[in-house]
Amino acid sequence: MYFFKIYDRSIKEAVIISLKLGYIDDKYFSTESISEFLGIDPSEVIETTKKVLLVYKDSINNFLDNAIAIATDEVGKTKHYK
């Protein structure tokens, strides 16, 4: 299933995106703060954030495409019975 693709991320990616998006104590951390905390280059934080958000975007788009296909199919079946 496409939606679960997002869960294939590494622990490091999960920590970075969690800090960036405020999933830890509802606090949002800057790129600089995350890079200092994890001891990594700020560009790695930026690239990881982009990568994870693109995977999320693809997952959501696939989920919505499937939902639309199901809804369209159901509408088609409803019209057929009229």
Tell me what the mean pLDDT of segment 12-31 comes to: 93
Tell me what the mean pLDDT of segment 52-77 comes to: 87
Distance of CA 10 to the CA centre of its chain: 13
Give the chain's mean pLDDT: 84
pLDDT of residue 8: 56
Round to whole Å and give the CA distance between 28 and 30. 7
Round to whole Å and give the CA distance between 71 and 74. 5
Tell me what the mean pLDDT of segment 41-68 comes to: 93
Dihedrals phi, psi of 27, to nearest 5 degrees = -115, 130
pLDDT of residue 74: 72
Domain architecture of the chain: domains with CATH: 2-81 (1.10.10)
Q: How many C-beta atoms surround the C-beta of residue 63 within 10 A?
A: 13
